[in-house]
Structure 1
Amino acid sequence: MSLVTAGVVVLDCAEPEKLAQFYKELLAAEEVGAHVNRMEIRAADGFRLALRRDVNATAPSWPRPENSLQAHLEFVVDDLDAVERLVVSLGGRPMETGDASGPTEERGYADPAGHSFVVRRGTPTAPKQG
């Protein structure tokens, strides 16, 4: 029997309320916990994400190496174009990965606080480089 009953991905950010709203809409999730410095949401499939207040949070610089990728989220989708429109309408932005020859079945984005995430179709086609 495992002592750990659930896992939660936690992103530090300056404004957890705003970032929680972004991910609630992107994932069609519901808020399952909140207090002054932390918001937690859960998607219909059980995926849990928490946003923790850190007034000194700095966004990763990925794909640039100086503050590189600290962590990222990956979401499996059916329609890359529709998801891109949603991400941008919610305040996210596309990220230039620097590899135009890479697979076209995934796209990189940053949420409104600068955390990187990838949306992809199917299984990954190439290992992480670098």
Structure 2
Amino acid sequence: MAIASLGAVVLDCPDPRALAAFYARVLGGSVEGEGDWLDLKVPGGPTLAFQAAPGHVPPRWPAPEHSQQFHLDVTVEDLDTAEKEVLALGAKPLDTEDRSRTFRVYADPAGHPFCLCAC
């Protein structure tokens, strides 16, 4: 028996509205709330929340001396198409050179790592 259920995955960031808009374009869903806390209600998935953190320092990837803390795996039909779209939205490539792999690593506009993963 579980003690709890997952309510949301929360990302600290300097601008919750901008980061929520980025992930809404990547994942779909609707952004709810205002101010220092916003929720992205993702169809068929958990809520992704964004909390204002004025002193936010993005994780460094890869850097063993600086923990990445967590990352999101986002499943896509076509890696090349999805890559073009997330880069146009402001993502930055972190580890995308090996095109034979089934994943590529990026940073969102606030610096959090995420992977595009082929289904």
TM over 0.5: yes
Q: Deviations over 1:40-63 (max 9, x none)?
A: 001211331001000001100011
1:111 aligns with 2:108: yes
- Counterpart code for 1:16: P
Aligned to 1:125: none
Structure 1 equivalent of residue 22 of structure 2: 22
**CA distance in structure 1 between the partners assigned to 2:87 and 2:34 by the alignment:** 28
What's the TM-score once normalised by structure 1's chain length?
Answer: 0.81
Cα distance in 1, alignment partners of residues 5 and 95 from structure 2: 37
Which residue does the alignment assign to 2:62?
63
- Runs of 4+ deviating beyond 2 Å: 1-7
Q: Gapped runs of 5+ residues in structure 2? A: none
5+ long unaligned stretches in structure 1? 123-130
Match of 2:78 in 1: 79
Task: Give, in whole Å, the separation in 1 of the partners of 2:63 and 2:22.
Answer: 24
1: CA distance, partners of 2:86 / 2:45: 21
Higher strand share: 2
Q: Could you say what secondary structure the match of 2:95 adopts? A: coil
Work out whether residues 73 and 115 of structure 2, in 8 Å CA contact, stay in contact via their aligned partners in 1: yes
Structure 1 residues 5 and 114 mapped into 2: Cα distance closer, same or farther (>3 Å)?
same
**What corresponds to 1:9 in structure 2?**
9
Deviations 1:58-100 (A, max 9, x none): 1000112231311100111111011101100100111137x85
The equivalences for 1:80-95 within 5 A come to: 80-95=79-94
Match of 2:47 in 1: 48
Q: Percent identity?
A: 37
- Offset of 1:104 from its aligned partner? 1.1
